[in-house]
Structure 1
């Protein structure tokens, strides 16, 4: 069985999970513990970041590389069209989504959890011990703001990211106004990338992530609750209902297992 080394709330890991489900491939999720787990992963693959896909003796890092590998090795339900124009558009949108929605979504989410203690606590996986949840909830917002500055998430950077995401969501809403998918009448890597990467903006309404049920359909208020973007999120949830397997009763099981590197 395929193995996916991941973080449950990594939008790039979710992009790969959605791709695997779309292709109907069974896989096992292995949660990489930040710190020591990343060191072990680097020792094995030369890569500290997730996602990493293991297929037999092969390790494939990076969500785009994983998508291309899966299309080559498991050609059923192809992700990338053969038509040159559609292929080019698909790859262009996928790369744009990685660099825009993926990166800026993390910045916008950081701002939301910095200001909302209950939201911060609720974002922890359901398997997190209550003591740790209480500690995380009690971290002062001022301290989180300082930590944000340390990783480049200054207030100006966050505001710019949110402004860009508003434009992104407007553009996506317009593109989908008269088309079921972003590049035509069939889903492609472009759709799966955009849908999977958008989870940090607004979580899907179904049981697809190891999160409390109360967070389903919730997200960054300024984006998730804006009626102008409701058509986009409705489209995204349709993608999930069509292709993403829910945690309950799925071959992947419920919560991911801890990393075990042979």
Structure 2
């Protein structure tokens, strides 16, 4: 019955599942993988190489939305999926909106700056991994950086397009929260968790579990500062619901 979360500590999609597991009060073990070395290990058990992957009782579930649905089915206490059909559908729609319009764009926009700062980003990748992880990543970083930029399309005009998509998504969420305290139903749900966790790298909450720097490199930090007011509701979710 052991639960293992295969993850990258830096990944906001993995943080989404760490939060879900903690919210439900479940015991689990983290299995931190090094970028690049995770490909074969993940493809041996799931269709794609991406994390998060939840391992439970001999089964593997891949993808943050699928994992939350699995957890709510297997461990129904403290559900993240609303029971009422209308609220459930609304929560799933908002979660999909965040997964599509925030998740990949935060990743691309942040890495566009962070990959130029290996001394900062390598400890993110290596945190909680093998003792030789940092040295290994420094050795392969030029190749890893190229692979990441190609795979995630971290180049112009895609980076600028991601910035615009992010700004629009943040404003859409801000307007929604201006009308009600939660995105779906009358309580915190997977929709709110998705929004806050996927935006978390922009405001660096301590509950994320990563050893954040005091500030991000420029020009990333200036853009984050410009979004500070709109990001405040998501910081509040961390304070109120991320123990």
Are positions 1:7 and 2:8 aligned together? yes
Report what 2:114 is aligned to: 113
Report the 3-state secondary structure (helix = DSSP H, G, I; strand = E; otherwise coil) of the residue aligned with 2:232: helix
Per-residue deviation, residues 64-107 of structure 1 (Å, max 9, x unmatched): 11111111111111111122221111111111111110111111
Report what 1:244 is aligned to: 242
Report what 1:78 is aligned to: 79
Are positions 1:58 and 2:59 aligned together? yes
Q: 1:121 to 1:47 in 2, by over 3 A?
A: closer
Unaligned runs of 5+ in 1: 246-262
The answer as to whether partners of 2:4 and 2:56 remain within 8 angstroms in 1 is yes
- Of 123-132 and 10-19, more deviation after overlay is shown by 123-132
Q: 1:187 to 1:163 in 2, by over 3 A?
A: same
User: Normalising to structure 1: TM-score of the pair?
Assistant: 0.77
* Number of aligned residue pairs: 237
CA–CA separation in structure 2 for the residues paired with 1:70 and 1:149: 33
- Of 44-53 and 4-13, more deviation after overlay is shown by 44-53
Report what 2:158 is aligned to: 157
CA–CA separation in structure 2 for the residues paired with 1:208 and 1:238: 14
The answer as to whether partners of 1:121 and 1:133 remain within 8 angstroms in 2 is no
The answer as to whether partners of 2:174 and 2:230 remain within 8 angstroms in 1 is yes
Alignment of 1:217-236 (within 5 A): 220-226=220-226, 229-236=227-234
* Structure 1 residue 112, shift from structure 2 partner: 2.0
Unaligned runs of 5+ in 2: none
* Structure 1 residue 148, shift from structure 2 partner: 3.0
* Structure 1 residue 120, shift from structure 2 partner: 4.2
Report what 1:45 is aligned to: 46
* Structure 1 residue 241, shift from structure 2 partner: 2.2
The answer as to whether partners of 1:122 and 1:212 remain within 8 angstroms in 2 is no
Q: 1:48 to 1:124 in 2, by over 3 A?
A: closer
CA–CA separation in structure 2 for the residues paired with 1:174 and 1:149: 34
CA–CA separation in structure 2 for the residues paired with 1:21 and 1:131: 28
Per-residue deviation, residues 91-130 of structure 1 (Å, max 9, x unmatched): 1111111111011111101222255566546745556879
CA–CA separation in structure 1 for the residues paired with 2:78 and 2:134: 44
Report what 1:35 is aligned to: 36
